[in-house]
């Protein structure tokens, strides 16, 4: 079974007609009886360039964004939605993605799975997002961005519990009224294109809302979840219906701004000051000297024709823009860089502002990639400005500094350090590339992917840079296939997904109730009775599951407790799906009562080290900056280790200061607070810095608060008194 037509009363009551697009074959709804195409096909051009579709907005740049965002959020507030503040751009609450890629990502997986209630219902939000999949097209296409705000209205229905706010018909009505009544869009210009959606394990019916050739919104009706035995199939994957029915919408703020400004490209609408400034610095007007090109006309026509690259020059000529390929290139290449730089700077403000530190791994890699793209484009444009200069200009015109968690000084310092590293990398680059390409024949046309990946991931050398060095070092025929940068970003994204998957291994135990964790009630409990629920042989050992235990299983970087059951030594304790498994050397009878004993000396040492890690981490954050985050931790009996994210190697002085502050905390704070809060409340009260140790797994979050010094979600065992 697949999904049928999106046939809604709102359509029939408001003069819509369903038709099949003559170009794409997709079904769409329109009030315009003469319409043959869906609005988003190769046959459809942008109609708003030079003649804005949305009326009443004379601003440009950040003022335009602010006014558009307010208009949207206000509209939905008036329709009974609660406004929710945007979440961070770094998806700290998830372990399968690094960056927030859509507004719904904020609610996945804990809200969308039904584990945690939404912060409001229905709600409206404008969520900053980053997507690097089209990074190569940014600047060149006239419309692509790596960072954007996704405005949305979300609904979480539970029809089985009688909780239904609204569904498809009302959703489309809200959207249509926003477009026509609130934004003054010509009703005949709007088409609703049926196109089922799937992603992140969920799926459902969906419509894309196209206006003037531009996709302005997507309305997704998510009521399906991935299920191998499901009876609905979308794009080859099987789904079944879920208890929770979710409306997931996405309205691209910047696209609304473009449609309201009617500028030749989206970049002039949202980053006008940056574009003018970079044009001036580049001496862009000189490129046009001696030609009779009307730049706005050229760019407008190019944006309209963006889907038709091959025939671009002929078609431009038909429209009265005569240009040869060489001139077109000399204009469009520098322009695409001028456009891409503010986009990338905006993404960096979002990422580093949120406390990210550039590195060669995970989200840090994505930031470094963008930094190096900016530096390369800057060099290609021959600009005599530093990365920090670019950032300062961007902060002045395009970014609300108060939204940054990072300090402006810290942000600029990180960029300065990254620029120094880039310069070092350029100096060393030639030898590194030559070494890696040693066995590649000089007449090769491509560099193997694996070499490019390695140079990128371990040496921080972007593929385009490697190609440049290779060309000047004798491999003159090599080139880079287009889309490689996006592939690299994708590769890093899927590594996160893989890592998230591989941590959820299974041991194949029978279905058992969750083990009661007595160590949370009292960390000093050293013995108790329990019932044996399961005992099975594994190699020379026996795996034992009890109804309750005071032995802490290995987790969160903390080694497991040891002890004994009925006098038999416990050599390992692990946890799987809330079931605690003790490894012992002898078998026990299921159903019998046993006595459990904890090795309290080991526990005390583990708690010493674990509590100390919290105090030292808090001290490092206080002293070094909000970007200091736990990158890894290990708490054992003889020592503990804490890895933190910081842009520079810690100096002797840094270490001394951290030690001093930690000791001070031990002196001043007498008791720790331990609490267990529902996810939504924990997020709200403490923010996402809470999840230093990784994404939380359950609906409730255990929190350790050490005065005002440090607060973290942590499932480990800690002292009640730090000292
Ligand atoms: Zn802890």
Q: What is the CA radius of gyration of the chain?
A: 29
* Cis upstream peptide for 109 (omega within 30°): yes
Ligand 1 center to residue 315 CA distance, Å?
64
Same domain, 453 and 549: no
Same domain, 287 and 401: yes
Q: Which of 11, 351, 438 is nearest to 207 (CA)?
A: 11
Cα pseudo-dihedral 607, 608, 614, 617, rounded to 10: -140
pLDDT for the residue 504:
47
Tell me if 35 sits within 8 A of 19, measured CB to CB. Answer: yes
DSSP 710: E
Give the domain-ending residue among 564, 598, 632: 598
Beta strand residue intervals within 435-540, DSSP E: 516-517, 527-538
Please give the Cα distance from 565 to 527 (Å, whole number).
Answer: 10
Same domain, 525 and 383: no
**Domain boundaries, position 569:** 516-598
Ligand 1 center to residue 614 CA distance, Å?
6
Same domain, 253 and 286: no
Ligand 1 center to residue 693 CA distance, Å?
8
Ligand 1 center to residue 112 CA distance, Å?
28
Same domain, 373 and 391: yes
Residue 3 within any structural domain of the chain: no
Using CA atoms, how far residue 628 sits from 250, 462, 633, 659, in Å, is: 32, 26, 13, 16
Tell me if 534 sits within 8 A of 544, measured CB to CB. Answer: yes
Ligand 1 center to residue 447 CA distance, Å?
46
Ligand 1 center to residue 714 CA distance, Å?
4
Same domain, 432 and 321: yes
pLDDT for the residue 503:
52
pLDDT for the residue 516:
96
Ligand 1 center to residue 260 CA distance, Å?
50
Residue 8 within any structural domain of the chain: no
Ligand 1 center to residue 219 CA distance, Å?
41
Tell the burial category of 680 from Cβ atoms under 10 Å away from its Cβ (0-12, 13-18, 19+). Answer: middle
Same domain, 380 and 478: yes
Ligand 1 center to residue 101 CA distance, Å?
29
Residue 722 within any structural domain of the chain: no
Please give the Cα distance from 595 to 586 (Å, whole number).
Answer: 15
pLDDT for the residue 679:
85
- By 3-state DSSP, what share of the chain in percent is helix, strand and coil, each rounded to 5? 40, 20, 35
pLDDT for the residue 136:
83
Ligand 1 center to residue 636 CA distance, Å?
13
Ligand 1 center to residue 708 CA distance, Å?
16
CATH number at residue 548: 2.40.30.130
Same domain, 306 and 423: yes
CATH number at residue 125: 3.30.930.10
Residue 80 within any structural domain of the chain: yes
Ligand 1 center to residue 403 CA distance, Å?
29
Using CA atoms, how far residue 634 sits from 69, 609, 610, 665, in Å, is: 44, 9, 8, 21
Along the chain (723 residues), what's the average pLDDT of each consecutive run of 10 residues?
82 96 94 92 85 93 97 98 94 88 90 87 97 88 93 96 95 98 95 88 91 95 90 86 93 97 95 96 82 77 62 76 76 90 97 93 89 93 96 96 93 96 88 90 89 82 84 87 76 71 62 93 93 92 95 91 95 92 94 96 92 93 92 89 92 95 90 89 86 80 90 90 72
Ligand 1 center to residue 606 CA distance, Å?
10
Give the domain-ending residue among 440, 473, 500: 500
Give the domain-ending residue among 442, 470, 500: 500
> How many other CB atoms are there within 10 angstroms of residue 411's CB atom?
24
Tell the burial category of 2 from Cβ atoms under 10 Å away from its Cβ (0-12, 13-18, 19+). Answer: exposed
- What is the enclosing helix (H) or strand (E) of 20? strand 17-20
- What is the enclosing helix (H) or strand (E) of 521? helix 518-521
Same domain, 146 and 256: yes
Residue 508 within any structural domain of the chain: no
Ligand 1 center to residue 92 CA distance, Å?
17
Same domain, 337 and 313: yes
CA 719 to chain centre: 35
Same domain, 377 and 337: yes
Q: How many domains is the chain built from?
A: 4
Please give the Cα distance from 257 to 299 (Å, whole number).
Answer: 17
Same domain, 327 and 196: no
Residue 4 within any structural domain of the chain: no
- What residues are neighbours of ligand 1 (ion), with CB under 5 Å? 714, 716
Residue 352 within any structural domain of the chain: yes
Ligand 1 center to residue 692 CA distance, Å?
10
Ligand 1 center to residue 707 CA distance, Å?
14
pLDDT for the residue 459:
78
Ligand 1 center to residue 674 CA distance, Å?
10
Ligand 1 center to residue 705 CA distance, Å?
10
Residue 70 within any structural domain of the chain: yes
Ligand 1 center to residue 551 CA distance, Å?
16
Ligand 1 center to residue 492 CA distance, Å?
29
Contacts of 476 (CB under 8 A, 6+ apart): 442
> How many other CB atoms are there within 10 angstroms of residue 184's CB atom?
14
């Amino acid at each position: 079974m697949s999904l049928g037509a999106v046939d809604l009363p709102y359509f029939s009551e408001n003069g819509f007609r369903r038709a099949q697009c003559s170009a794409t074959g997709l079904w769409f709804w329109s009030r315009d009886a003469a319409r043959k195409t869906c609005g988003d096909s190769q046959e459809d051009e942008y109609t708003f360039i030079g003649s804005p579709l949305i009326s009443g907005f004379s601003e440009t740049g950040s003022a335009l964004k602010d006014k558009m965002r307010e208009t949207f959020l206000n509209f939905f507030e008036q329709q009974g939605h609660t406004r929710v503040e945007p979440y961070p751009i770094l998806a700290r609450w998830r372990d399968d993605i690094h960056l927030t890629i859509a507004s719904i990502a904020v609610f996945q997986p804990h809200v969308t799975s039904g584990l945690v209630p939404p912060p409001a219902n229905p709600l409206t939000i404008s969520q900053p997002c980053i997507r690097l999949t089209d990074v190569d097209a940014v600047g060149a296409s006239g419309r692509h961005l790596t960072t954007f705000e996704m405005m949305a209205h979300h609904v979480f229905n539970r029809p089985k519990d009688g909780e239904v706010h609204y569904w498809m018909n009302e959703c489309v009505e809200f959207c249509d009224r926003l477009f026509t009544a609130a934004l003054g869009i010509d009703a005949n210009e709007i088409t609703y294109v049926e196109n089922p959606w799937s992603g992140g394990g969920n799926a459902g019916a969906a419509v894309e809302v196209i206006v003037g050739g531009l996709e302005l919104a997507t309305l997704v009706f998510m009521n399906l979840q991935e299920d191998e035995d499901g009876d609905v199939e979308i794009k080859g994957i099987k789904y079944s219906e879920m208890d929770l029915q979710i409306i997931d919408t996405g309205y691209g703020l910047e696209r609304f701004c473009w449609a309201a400004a009617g500028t030749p490209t989206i970049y002039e609408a949202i980053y006008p000051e940056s574009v003018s400034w970079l044009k001036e610095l580049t001496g862009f007007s000189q490129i046009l000297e001696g030609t009779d090109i009307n730049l706005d006309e050229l760019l407008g026509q190019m944006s309209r024709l963006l889907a038709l690259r091959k025939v671009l020059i002929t078609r431009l000529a038909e429209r009265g823009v005569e240009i040869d390929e060489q001139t077109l290139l000399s204009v469009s290449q520098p322009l695409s860089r001028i456009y891409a730089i503010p986009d990338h700077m905006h993404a960096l403000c979002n990422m580093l502002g949120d406390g990210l530190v550039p590195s060669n791994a995970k989200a840090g890699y994505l930031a470094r990639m963008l930094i190096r793209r900016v530096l390369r484009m800057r060099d290609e444009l021959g600009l005599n400005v530093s990365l920090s200069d670019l950032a300062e200009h961007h902060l002045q015109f395009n970014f609300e500094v108060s939204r940054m968690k990072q300090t402006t000084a810290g942000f600029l310092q990180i960029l300065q350090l990254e620029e120094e590293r880039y310069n070092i990398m350029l100096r060393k680059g030639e030898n590194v590339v030559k070494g890696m390409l040693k066995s590649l024949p000089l007449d090769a046309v491509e560099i193997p992917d694996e070499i490019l990946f390695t140079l990128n991931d371990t040496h921080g050398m972007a593929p385009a840079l490697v190609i440049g060095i290779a060309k000047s070092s004798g491999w003159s025929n090599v080139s880079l296939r287009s889309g490689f940068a996006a592939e690299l970003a994708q590769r890093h994204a899927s590594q996160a997904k893989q890592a998230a998957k591989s941590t959820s291994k299974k041991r194949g135990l029978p279905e058992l109730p969750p083990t009661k964790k007595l160590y949370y009630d009292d960390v000093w409990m050293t013995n108790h009775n329990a019932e044996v629920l399961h005992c099975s042989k594994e190699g020379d050992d026996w795996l034992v599951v009890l109804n309750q235990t005071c032995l802490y299983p290995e987790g969160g970087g903390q080694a497991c407790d040891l002890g004994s059951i009925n006098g038999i030594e416990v050599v390992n304790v692990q946890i799987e799906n809330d079931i605690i498994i003790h490894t012992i050397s002898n078998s026990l009878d299921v159903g019998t009562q046993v006595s459990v004993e904890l090795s309290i000396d080991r526990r005390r040492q583990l708690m010493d080290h674990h509590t100390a890690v919290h105090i030292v981490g808090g001290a490092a954050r206080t002293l070094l900056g909000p970007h200091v985050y736990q990158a890894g931790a290990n708490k054992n009996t003889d020592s503990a280790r804490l890895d933190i994210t910081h842009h520079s190697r810690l100096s002797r002085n840094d270490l001394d200061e951290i030690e001093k502050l930690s000791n001070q905390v031990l002196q001043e704070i007498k008791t720790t607070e331990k609490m267990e809060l529902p996810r939504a409340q924990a997020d709200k009260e403490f923010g996402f810095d809470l999840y230093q140790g990784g994404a939380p797994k359950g609906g409730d979050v255990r929190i350790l608060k050490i005065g005002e010094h440090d607060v973290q979600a942590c499932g480990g065992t800690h002292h009640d008194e730090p000292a």
